[in-house]
Amino acid sequence: CIIFSVLIIISTLFQISFFKVFGATPAIVLAIICAIGFLCGERCGAICGVVGGFFIDMLGSVGIGFSPVIYMLAGYLCGYFLKVFLKRNFLSFIIYSLCVGGVQFCITLARFAFGAKSFNIIDIFIKTLMPEFFAFMLCVPIVYFTCLGIAGIIKKFSPEN
């Protein structure tokens, strides 16, 4: 989990900087948390989720929020559902990522609904929600194969082997 925590910190700095896809900032850290839960299990996913959510909130502009809890649940559930529903492969990860992206979509919409006095749902959908979702899904394969390589290296050099 320590190596993944370093990856999370680096990707958090990358995510809060200048990086934009489709005019939106992709949730790279969330994709990494999902990949960790998927590849290493729910415990490691939950721990890294708390770390990732904490750094997103600390380095973002809002302050401490609910991100550690949301990211912890995402990492845990990706690892848990792997045991219950689908086997570990790339297609399963894409399906889980679509679900996580959909939840992120709903959370962003709820933030607009509760945080703004008035908003145009069509504008929010076209200018914020869809670009954010597609930016997230675009980074998912890159994150998956990166974390798969790191998990392979960790497994190769772990004392249990």
**Rounded distance between C-alpha atoms, residue 117 and residue 101, angstroms:** 25
For 57-94, the pLDDT digits (tens) are 887 666 667 788 888 988 898 888 877 777 778 888 88
Give yes or no for a contact between 22 and 37, defined as CB atoms under 8 angstroms apart. no
Residue-level pLDDT at 61? 60
Residues 80-90: pLDDT tens digits? 887 777 777 88
pLDDT for the residue numbered 63: 61
- Closest by Cα among 112, 102, 36 to 72: 36
